[in-house]
Amino acid sequence: MTKVVIVTGGDAAYFPLIEELAQSVRAQRTADEMGLAVIDGGLEPDQAALLVLRYGARVLQVGWGFEIAPARIKGREHLKVLTARSFLDQHLPDADVIVWIDGDAWVQDMAAVDLMAQAALKDRLVVVSQTSRYSDVVMTLQWAGFGYAKVKAQLYKNARRAGLPEAEARLVGDKPTFNAGVFALARTAPHWQAWRRRIAQVLVKGRVFTADQLAMGLMIHADGLAVEHAPEICNYMGPWTCTADERTLVERYIPNAKVGVIHMAGYDALRRDKALTVPIATLDGRVIHKSLRRFAWA
């Protein structure tokens, strides 16, 4: 039987969100059916203990994994989660498949996680592209005269900021960015070592905050490691739509599939305040206002 472990991470401020993710997992799968692990990025001791006792989580006390000067960290210890997760194949030696889900996301339908885990057994990185049918802008350009434009794509900008040669930056310049907030990967896949190598490269001059996502793009687009493009339901970030009975979040466009993983990326205020709501279209043509947090849909 394939052992799948869902992993997340964060600090004390993120704990309410991490707990909601844990609740969403345990509401659908027992600890025997699916593992749960949390990278400690600054949790309080009692928070870590609660995750262990109530949800059967394994709390991982790990380092950054790379030598990073304190002046670059600037007290942001929670960023350790982003670099440390590239070593999950070493931290979780008993896992067959590792599914990463950011702390500001929760699982509405475990079928999406199962889908990603099954695809990961092909030794492919299973991840959602940020270029999709929900993208209003495919690539950011800075227009100049005579129809010329300067590339402002996210991967290209970060690659140049990280000091990568122009030729290497161009390998990712017109390619889609993969959202590293949710992904699945077999523990024995070659991607882990390649990811760490690329993170080490871009950390020399690049931003700590974006190093892991840039490195992910490089190992796919430049190094040619295998990728499986997962559907948006595996990492859904809007536009927000729900069923007419206001109980289930679904995709905006046909076939209006049930969303598997709700990712509240960019909703900083809502992540801090449970009382805040967002406009959500219903399939029968209305607009309601409701929180995206799990408690509102459980």
CATH number of residue 83's parent domain:
3.90.550.10
pLDDT tens for each residue of 201-248: 999 888 888 888 899 999 999 999 999 999 999 999 999 999 999 999
pLDDT tops 80 at residue 271 = yes
Element (H, E) at 186: strand 178-186
pLDDT tops 80 at residue 68 = yes
| Mean pLDDT of all residues in 177-206 | 94
Whole-prediction pTM: 0.92
Same structural domain for residues 111 and 71?
yes
State how far the Cα of 104 lies from the Cα of 81, in Å rounded to an integer.
13
State how far the Cα of 36 lies from the Cα of 39, in Å rounded to an integer.
10
Same structural domain for residues 221 and 248?
no
57-61, 67-71, 117-121, 230-234: the lowest-pLDDT one: 67-71
Same structural domain for residues 33 and 114?
yes
Burial 119-133 (b: 16+ CB within 10 A, else e): bbeeebbbbbbbbee
Same structural domain for residues 112 and 253?
no
pLDDT tens for each residue of 152-164: 677 877 877 778 8
Which domain does 240 fall in, by range? 234-296
**Are 278 and 297 a contacting pair, CB within 8 Å?**
no
Q: How many domains does the chain have?
A: 3
Q: Which residues contact 260 (CB under 8 A, 6 or more apart)?
A: 107, 108, 109, 110, 111, 112, 113, 115, 233, 234, 236
Torsion of CA 28, 7, 52, 15, to 10 degrees: -100
Same structural domain for residues 106 and 165?
no
Q: Residue 205's pLDDT is what?
A: 84
| Mean pLDDT of all residues in 168-192 | 90
| Mean pLDDT of all residues in 19-36 | 97
The confidence band for 137, taking pLDDT boundaries of 50, 70 and 90, is: low
Torsion of CA 240, 155, 120, 136, to 10 degrees: 20
Same structural domain for residues 14 and 96?
yes
Q: Residue 171's pLDDT is what?
A: 78
Same structural domain for residues 60 and 183?
yes
Same structural domain for residues 218 and 128?
yes
**Are 229 and 262 a contacting pair, CB within 8 Å?**
no
